């Protein structure tokens, strides 16, 4: 029936629109509150630790010889297809999220104490726990260098024999090719870790990573609420062991090249 407004009006008035879950409030609670943002930093941290562990296990294939590591690199770059780009985008996202949230919280906390104590004191805070933001920044800088070094190969190249002439020629890392036509990751790593400065830089960065993870890994359990007094000891030991394993595993590659345990495939004159 037509009325003045043109539509039939319900005698009890218009129905209220149904209210669903409030996604905006949910995201705000996660990203904006100090507890929610910390939980996200913890979760992204878990993702980054899992990446570091798998990256380390993959790289340790260098001890199995050139064929193993070059085959693994080929598998990652060509056999998993577009999944590689999904993984790279995901990794970039959690890396940026981890950093951005941590820096934002740190800035807020710095503002929370405008006047410092004339006589600072501390009872039980560890050095690792107090320096998380700084060790984190060092790891960021190292990661950028590491990408420039091996992923983009901007830093330096390697001398390898030319297959045609047998003469040593200077080649960019990305142009190194093994006898099966794959990218020669083995030769690239040996060449990369033959430089003294770069070796020191890698080893120092690994120590920073150790310090960061020494506090970070046990801290994740506390932040996600997965810890109580009973599990305090075991979780602390887990953090130490994991951080140490990552330190030893990553440094082993660098040290092995320096000590000559892992050598170039080509005879150097």
Contact between 214 and 243 under an 8 Å Cβ cutoff? The reply is yes
224 contacts another protein (rule: CB under 8 A): yes
Minimum distance from residue 244 beta carbon to another protein (Å): 20
Contact between 187 and 264 under an 8 Å Cβ cutoff? The reply is yes
Q: Enumerate the H helices of the chain as residue ranges.
A: 23-32, 34-59, 66-74, 83-112, 127-130, 132-146, 185-192, 196-223, 232-259
> Per the structure block, which two tokens stand in for 30?
């996660």
Among 2, 4, 8, 123, binds another protein (CB under 8 A): 123
Scanning 6-14, 37-45, 53-61, 192-200 for contacts with another protein by CB under 8 A, the matching segment is 37-45
Minimum distance from residue 216 beta carbon to another protein (Å): 9
Nearer to another protein, 8 or 23 (CB): 23
Contact between 218 and 236 under an 8 Å Cβ cutoff? The reply is yes
Q: Write the interaction track for another protein spanning residues 89-118; mark x where CB under 8 A is met and - where it is not.
A: ----------------x--xxxxxxxxxxx
Q: How far apart, in whole angstroms, are the C-alpha atoms of residue 173 and residue 177? A: 9
- Give the dihedral of Cα atoms 214, 220, 222, 226; nearest 10 deg: -120
Among 122, 165, 167, 268, binds another protein (CB under 8 A): 122
Q: What's phi and psi for 25, nearest 5 deg?
A: -65, -35
Nearer to another protein, 90 or 225 (CB): 225
Minimum distance from residue 120 beta carbon to another protein (Å): 5
Nearer to another protein, 8 or 123 (CB): 123
Among 149, 219, 243, 247, binds another protein (CB under 8 A): 219
237 contacts another protein (rule: CB under 8 A): no
**How many other CB atoms are found less than 10 A from the CB of residue 260?**
7
**How many other CB atoms are found less than 10 A from the CB of residue 136?**
21
30 contacts another protein (rule: CB under 8 A): yes
Where along the sequence are the contacts to another protein (CB under 8 A)?
Answer: 20-23, 25-26, 29-30, 32-39, 105, 108-126, 129-130, 132, 215, 218-219, 221-229
């Amino acid at each position: 029936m037509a009325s003045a407004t043109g539509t039939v009006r319900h005698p009890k008035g218009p129905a209220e629109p149904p209210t669903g879950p409030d996604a905006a409030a949910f995201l705000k609670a996660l990203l904006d509150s100090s507890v929610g943002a910390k939980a996200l930093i913890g979760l992204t941290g878990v993702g980054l630790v899992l990446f570091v562990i798998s990256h380390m296990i993959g790289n340790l294939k260098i001890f199995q010889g050139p064929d193993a590591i070059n085959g693994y690199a080929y598998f990652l770059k060509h056999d998993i297809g577009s999944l590689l780009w999904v993984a790279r985008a995901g990794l970039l996202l959690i890396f940026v999220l981890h950093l951005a949230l941590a820096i934002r919280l740190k800035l807020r906390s710095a503002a929370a104490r405008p006047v410092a104590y004339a006589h600072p004191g501390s009872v039980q805070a560890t050095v690792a726990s107090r320096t998380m933001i700084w060790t984190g920044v060092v790891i960021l800088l190292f990661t950028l260098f590491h990408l420039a070094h091996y992923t983009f190969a901007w830093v330096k190249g390697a001398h390898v024999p030319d297959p045609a002439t047998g003469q040593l020629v200077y080649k960019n890392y990305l142009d190194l090719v093994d006898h099966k036509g794959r990218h020669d990751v083995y030769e690239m790593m040996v060449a990369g870790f033959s430089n003294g400065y770069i070796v020191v830089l890698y080893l120092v960065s690994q120590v920073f990573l150790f310090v960061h993870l020494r506090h970070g890994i046990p801290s994740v359990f506390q932040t996600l609420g997965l810890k109580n007094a009973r599990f305090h000891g075991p979780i602390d030991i887990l953090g130490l062991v994991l951080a140490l394993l990552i330190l030893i595993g990553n440094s082993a590659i660098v040290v092995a090249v320096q000590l000559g345990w892992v050598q170039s495939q080509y005879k150097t004159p």
